[in-house]
Amino acid sequence: MNFKIFLSLLAFLPFQSALAFQTTTVSGVVVDQATKETLLGANIILLNHEPLLGTSTDADGQFIVRNVPLGRHDFQISYLGYQTKTINGILVTTGREVVLTIGLQEEVYVGDGVEVVASLQKEQPINDMSFVSAKAFTIEETQRYAGGLDDPARLVTAFAGVTSSGGTQSNAISIRGNAPKSVQWRLEGIEIPNPSHFAGLSVAGGGGLTLFSSQLVSDSDFMTGAFPAEYGNVLSGVFDINFRSGNQNRREYAFQLGINGLEASSGGPFKAGSPSTYLFNYRFSTLTLLMPLLPTDGFIRYQDLSFKLDFPTKKAGRFEFWGIGGLDNQGLDAKTDSTKWEYAYWDFSDNEIKLGVGAVGLSHSLLVNSKSYLKTTVALSGNSTDYTTDRFDDNLSLNPELRIKNNLGRFALKSYINQNLSSRITTRTGIEYQHLFYDLNLRGKPTNQDPFQQLIEGEGSADLIRAYSQAKISLSPQLNVLGGINAQWFSLNDEVLLEPRVSMNWQLTQRTGFNLGYGLHSQIEELGVYFVQPENGLPNQDLKLAKAHHWVAGWSQNLGDHHFLKTEVFYQKLFDVPVIADSSFSMLNFVQDLSFSDELVNNGEGENMGVEISLERFLNNGFYYLLTGTFYNTQYKGGDGIWRDGRFDQNLAANFLFGKEYFLNEGRNVFGINTRASITGGERYSTVLQQTSRENEEVIFNELTPFSNQFDSRFVADLTLSYRTNRANYSSIWLLQIKNLFGARDYTFDYNYQTEQVDLIKEGTVLPILSWKIEF
């Protein structure tokens, strides 16, 4: 059947009745990006629309554009003395009003005047003090990009410099050859624990799916190196996540039902005419329908809640109360028929896992004057792990194998002042105090030959204090310089660090830009690492922080109105890395070891270098694509002083994303098709010692030549099909997301008790997720 005929027939399906409406409203607020002061009289125009459609902001910076046609639109925002801004690809539907928060940058004038030229802002990060290795993303992209699964961590694997680490079932990522555990998550500016369901079970720093829902997440930033001074305690990358506020104009609801569970959300004003709003979202999943497709038995359940309450006041500033929380439960029963035993974990072990993670915070923003604002946040976050494993012996008696009962908490107080000293100089200075609580108890068997014993134990608290100051200086409309310093003290090892940061952005022409960046960065380890071997006096408690010098140079080119080309070259020099003395082990290669209990020293080093290329066509006329390529090399030096290829040295990562939307019946129905294809260098692994593994009845690798082998390159494809129906009072969406379309294989090693040898396990799961969602 002709494809265009197929699309036309979709419009006449029984549930697509004729509609009398064609328009809706778009509202929002316009503020000074540096001071957050609302701007009276800013002009908002709907581009490419006849007759002219637009409005201006009122005394509170608010605006409403009425009679906006359904579909995707570009909006231009202008204000005297500020850079004109264009926002493209805004999807206007009937189910939920579009509410925009738009920040404008003050124009730097040179001489008698300057020509103001509107340009697309899609390539710019939300944080205007990030000049290098930073990219904004929208939660709409996590829904639209194939393979995104509404998950920011899966979305960014399409970006340059990022590779998936942990297989198709995990959202763990490696940035520029670094371990996934070195990524930091932030929510509303506050560092939080890894916000993923089943966090750290297969890969430290990864999980199954993040707790963030598309109903709450606003435009956010993802950074991959040479961060501004305000970012501390991180080595490789930052997710800087923001929550949106509820719609002040009306209450909105959404409900989603899929084979992976259900989801419900609500948001809007507390009462009609009130500027105070609420927004929350709840998800619950049993994965019952997906279990036959997953490479596991037993049961898997999870649920999460996200919310934000927004209370703007006339004189006391804005108060925002926000939070996330998630609960996970997974179990697997042992097989009692010993003749069927092959692999320990899957066949003759009883496993039960209970996990919890959460964060709540109260933020207060106050305009000190027309040129500065103060933001203060107090937050409490934490995560808990209750993990039990028992294993059958030859007499069919269950014996304890692993007991983990960890509870970690963090009280955080952060405050900073942002000052626009002039049109040329903006400063940001702040302090952050983190009080870390811990109750750690790990008992287990380091190897099958060892007795069940205490491995980690510790209860108490520690402090992490950071202070920073940074200044952005506009030397001209085309040249901006950022300099700053981050100071940090960690009470466990009493180490004080001063970390300089500097970057530059030079707009050579209207379409060509150049940037440079440098930063010294550091990161503490997971608290359990500091409390191993309690019977030996906690030998790791004085460990220094791992550190890294980041250098970045980039070149960007606007290729017409909707195309953008960017290239970055990076080099990272890591030092003071924790390693095991006289061993090839390094924390730079750490993935996951629930029974890790070794003494470490700070003798390790590492190097990551490479080049990244991105070619993007921003969504316009229903069509977009993104092509990225990364060529890199990762090496490390372990405790034995020998340089080797690192675990995450895959050398190559390339992605191609393509999407097309078809608007039918004047935008009342929208059919979308999105595809993604990626190819990465093979994962590195160490040689298996079969005889030693047989003697120990577990997988033993040759640690003298670690990661000397590499699997073949891997090709993974994803597909997303969507169909949206706009009706008078609601909008509904059918969504089919197919992850790993061609069944690419994940690799792991496991000891086979029947053959008495180590098997290479190859698993490839095509994961289809069908859902239906209604917004009203």
At 570 the three-state DSSP class reads strand
Integer Cα distance of 724 and 668 in angstroms: 8
Side-chain half-sphere exposure of 751, counting CA atoms within 13 A: 20
Between CA 646 and CA 165 the distance in angstroms is: 13
At residue 4 the predicted structure's pLDDT band, cuts being 50, 70 and 90, is very low
The pLDDT confidence band at residue 291, using thresholds 50, 70 and 90, is: low
The pLDDT-based confidence of 298 (bands split at 50, 70, 90) is: confident
DSSP 532: B
Question: Is it the case that residue 423 has pLDDT exceeding 90?
Answer: no
Helix extents (H) in 151-287 = 152-155
Q: Which two tokens stand for residue 171?
A: 């959202």
Spatial contact of 326 and 195, defined as CB atoms under 8 Å apart: yes
| Cα 2 to Cα 36: distance, rounded to the nearest angstrom | 52
User: What pLDDT does 744 receive?
Assistant: 93
Predicted local distance difference test score (pLDDT) of residue 10: 39
Q: How far apart are CA 89 and CA 485, in angstroms?
A: 37
Do 92 and 98 touch, CB atoms closer than 8 A? yes
- Beta carbons of 7 and 13 less than 8 angstroms apart: no
What is the mean predicted confidence (pLDDT) over 629-645? 97
Mind giving me the DSSP string for 325-372?
EEEEEEEEPPPS-GGG---HHHHSEEEEEEEEEEEEEEEEEEEEETTE
Q: Name the pLDDT band for 388 (thresholds 50, 70, 90).
A: very high
**DSSP assignment string, 19-41:** -S--EEEEEEEEEETTT--B-TT
Strand 190-192 and strand 183-187: pairing? antiparallel
Closest by alpha carbon to 711, among 678, 739, 687, 676?
A: 687
Q: What is the pLDDT of residue 111?
A: 47
Nearest CA among 140, 37, 33, 25 for reference residue 75? 25
Tokens of 731: 């909008």
Q: What Å distances lie between residue 633 and 235, 535, 579, 749, CA to CA? A: 17, 40, 20, 25
592 phi, psi to nearest 5 deg: -170, 135
pLDDT of amino acid 112: 45
Question: What is the rounded distance in angstroms from the CA atom of residue 633 to the CA atom of residue 572?
Answer: 11
- Taking the CA atoms of residue 298, residue 714, residue 591 and residue 240 in that order, the dihedral angle to the nearest 10 degrees is -100
HSE-CB of 354 using CA atoms within 13 angstroms: 6
**Are 156 and 222 contacting, i.e. CB atoms less than 8 angstroms apart?**
yes
pLDDT at 383 over 90: yes
pLDDT for position 121: 56
For 337, counting Cβ atoms within 10 Å of its Cβ (0-12 exposed, 13-18 middle, 19+ buried), the class is exposed
pTM: 0.92
Integer CA distances (angstroms), 157 to 217, 570, 572, 609, 646, in order: 18, 18, 20, 18, 19
41-55, 69-83, 678-692: which is most confident: 678-692
Exposure letters 643-668 (e unless 16+ CB within 10 A, then b) = ebbbbbbbbebbbbbbbebbbbbebb
Cα separation of 232 and 230, whole Å? 6
pLDDT greater than 90 at residue 296? no
DSSP code at position 152: H
Q: Which is higher by pLDDT, 356 or 98? A: 356
pLDDT digits (tens, 9 = 90+) for 154-202: 999 999 999 998 888 889 999 999 999 999 999 999 999 999 999 998 8
DSSP structure class, residue 8: H
Residue 621 has pLDDT above 90, yes or no: no
Residues across the chain:
776
pLDDT (0 to 100) of residue 288: 63
Which is more confidently placed, 293 or 373?
373
C-alpha separations of 321 from 280, 365, 615 in Å: 11, 12, 39
Q: Give the strand order in the sheet containing 237-241.
A: 134-137, 220-223, 237-241, 183-187, 190-192
Distance CA 136, CA 55 (A): 27
CB 661 within 8 A of CB 671: yes
Delineate the domains of the chain, giving CATH numbers in brackets.
24-120 (2.60.40.1120), 134-775 (2.40.170.20)
Contacts with 431 (C-beta within 8 Å, 6 or more apart), sequence order:
414, 415, 416, 465, 466, 467, 468
Is residue 166 classed as helix, strand or coil in its secondary structure?
Answer: coil
Tally helices (H) and strands (E) across the chain: 5, 44
pLDDT band of residue 409 (cuts 50, 70, 90) is: very high
- C-beta of residue 425 within 8 angstroms of C-beta of residue 182: no
pLDDT higher than threshold 70 for residue 6: no
Start-to-end CA span in the chain (Å): 34
At 326-375, the pLDDT tens digits run: 999 999 988 888 888 999 988 999 999 999 999 999 999 999 998 999 99
Task: Read off the pLDDT of residues 487-503 as tens digits, 9 standing for 90 and up.
Answer: 999 999 999 999 999 99
Q: Is 247 helix (H, G, I), strand (E, B) or coil?
A: coil
Better-predicted residue by pLDDT, 277 or 124: 277
pLDDT of 119 reads 43
Predicted confidence band at 20 (pLDDT cuts at 50, 70, 90)?
very low
Position 123 pLDDT exceeds 80: no
pLDDT given at position 202: 87
Contact 319, 313 (CB under 8 A): yes
Distance in angstroms (rounded) separating the CA atoms of residues 676 and 664: 24
Amino acid at 711: F
Dihedral over alpha carbons 271, 274, 275, 279 (to 10 degrees) = 0
Structure confidence at residue 149 (pLDDT):
77
Helix (H, G, I), strand (E, B) or coil at 696: helix
pLDDT value for 140: 75
Mean pLDDT, all residues of the chain: 90
Q: Residue 279: pLDDT above 90?
A: yes
